[in-house]
Amino acid sequence: MSGIEEARESQRPETPPGFGQVTSQTPPPTPRRRRRVWPWLLGALLLVVLGVSLLLNLVMAVGLAMHLAGPSDMREQLVTGDPLAKEKIALVSLKGAIVDATGAFGRSGTFRSTVEELEQAASDPAVKAVCLLVDSPGGEVTASDVLCHKVRQLREKTGKPVVVSMGSVGTSGAYYVSVGADRIVAHPTAVTGNIGVLMTLINAQGLMEKVGLRSMVLKSAEHKDMGSPFREMTTEEQSLLQGVLDHLFTRFKETVAEGRGMSAAKVDVLANGRIFTAQEALESGLIDSIGYLEDAIADAKKLAGTPEAKVVRYERPFRLSRLFTSELEALASPRSLTVNITGFPEPHTARFLYMWVLGSEVPSE
């Protein structure tokens, strides 16, 4: 081998050991890709939101359908007596201020519930008499008149006697309703009477002048803003409103005279706006007797001729739809600050009241 070939051999790279040979070594494992969790969580959240939305829409649809159809969902609850007895005495409740308050998603308020209970008792042939539980200072003129009409209608069309069991308070509009019944039984500590009409108005003109506020009213006629709290009432306007009050007062007295079998002269003596204790009311002929609920029930059974009748009352079972509709009504209420002068659930408007009011504050429903 020449010197040139030896030099070439010396410059060749050495072959690494095992080159060109099959080895038994295992290649390193390929790293696994981590799965992303957030897309799954987002999908689950969207499904939950969609499910809740469908449930709310279903509840609202069912509630609206029930409200429009108007069926009563009241159920009977046994108070006393033999559960197997067929004949019944129904207890109907009239408690709190008599206000025709209607919510956005259904009816509410003692007025509506009392009307529904009276209608339920009237339509049930097994109900032989009604015991009306009254514990109310009165309320709106029209609402009181409607309830009195319902009581009379129940008696005249069905022949079922109605006995009032008066609790702590049965004044003004509540007494107006009570005179439509066959008998009035007052609790020994009850107060009643207060025959009269009331209208409360506020004059805030002086306050507005102090804080630098002025009211600008555009009206089509002279008396369109009669009773406005932002200005003094004129003598003519006072006379006009007083005329309406006098008319409603006359209707109140006529209703009492007819319901209690009194002369107009006697009612005039009693209709001075005062309240009466149970004993005073009994002596004046405003009520028939003093007693407790069991006494009123006994009177109802006697008038109906059903001594073995069971006593029931009406109640509304809890429904999921009521929970949702009450929440929706709260969300739908205006988001504004309202100074509620009367205490009624609606903003203050001029109201004629058959109501016993302490001072100038009208209690809420």
In-domain check, residue 63: no
Please tell me the predicted confidence (pLDDT) of residue 325: 44
Please tell me the predicted confidence (pLDDT) of residue 19: 47
In-domain check, residue 122: yes
Please tell me the predicted confidence (pLDDT) of residue 35: 62
Helix (H, G, I), strand (E, B) or coil at 178: helix
CA 108/CA 320 separation, integer angstroms: 17
Please tell me which residue in 86, 168, 215, 224 is annotated as part of the active site.
224
Biggest distance spanned by C-alpha atoms of the chain: 158
- Whole-angstrom CA distances from 211 to 206, 232, 341 are 9, 17, 19
Is 95 in contact with 133 (CB distance < 8 Å)? yes
Helix (H, G, I), strand (E, B) or coil at 187: coil
In-domain check, residue 180: yes
Measured in whole angstroms, how far is the alpha carbon of residue 195 from the centre of its chain? 26
Six-digit token string for 185: 């039984």
Please tell me the predicted confidence (pLDDT) of residue 29: 63
In-domain check, residue 58: no
Q: What is the CATH number of the domain that holds 169?
A: 3.90.226.10
Provide φ and ψ at 167, rounded to 5°.
-90, -130
In-domain check, residue 52: no
pTM: 0.72
In-domain check, residue 289: yes
Total count of residues recorded for the chain:
365
Please tell me the predicted confidence (pLDDT) of residue 70: 44
Is 311 in contact with 91 (CB distance < 8 Å)? yes
Residue 253 is among the residues annotated as catalytic for this protein: no
Is 348 in contact with 355 (CB distance < 8 Å)? no
Please tell me the predicted confidence (pLDDT) of residue 145: 97
Please tell me the predicted confidence (pLDDT) of residue 41: 75
In-domain check, residue 225: no
Q: Are strands 275-277 and 191-193 parallel, antiparallel or unpaired?
A: antiparallel
356 Cβ partners below 8 Å, 6+ apart? 137, 138, 169, 171, 172, 194, 275
- 315 sits in the region (left: phi over 0; alpha: psi -120 to 50; else beta) called beta
Own/partner contacts of 299-304, CB < 8 Å, gap of 24 or more, are 299/163, 299/183, 299/185, 300/89, 300/129, 300/130, 300/131, 300/161, 300/162, 300/163, 301/89, 301/129, 303/129, 303/161, 303/163, 303/182, 303/183, 304/87, 304/89, 304/128, 304/129, 304/160, 304/161
The CA-to-CA distance between both ends of the chain, in Å, stands at 124
Per the structure, the complete domain to which residue 132 belongs is given by 72-195+233-355
* Total domain count, the chain: 1
CA 316/CA 230 separation, integer angstroms: 44
Please list the ranges in the chain whose pLDDT falls under 50.
19, 22, 67-71, 103-108, 320-321, 324-348, 360-365
State pLDDT tens for residues 140-182: 999 999 999 999 999 999 999 999 999 999 999 999 999 999 9
Please tell me the predicted confidence (pLDDT) of residue 69: 42
DSSP codes joined into one string, 38-107 = HHHHHHHHHHHHHHHHHHHHHHHHHHHHHHHH-----EEEEEES-TT-S-EEEEEEEES-B---B-SSSB
Please tell me which residue in 93, 165, 172, 178 is annotated as part of the active site.
172
Residue 2 is among the residues annotated as catalytic for this protein: no
- Whole-angstrom CA distances from 358 to 87, 91, 340 are 42, 29, 16
| Nearest to 174, CA basis, from 209, 224, 139, 223 | 139
State pLDDT tens for residues 234-243: 899 889 989 9
In-domain check, residue 145: yes
Six-digit token string for 337: 């600050």
Please tell me the predicted confidence (pLDDT) of residue 328: 42
CA 362/CA 354 separation, integer angstroms: 11
Q: Where are the alpha helices (DSSP H) in the chain?
A: 3-11, 38-69, 110-123, 141-158, 173-178, 205-211, 235-260, 264-270, 278-284, 293-304, 320-332
Please count the CA atoms within 13 angstroms of the CA of 10 that sit on its side-chain side: 7
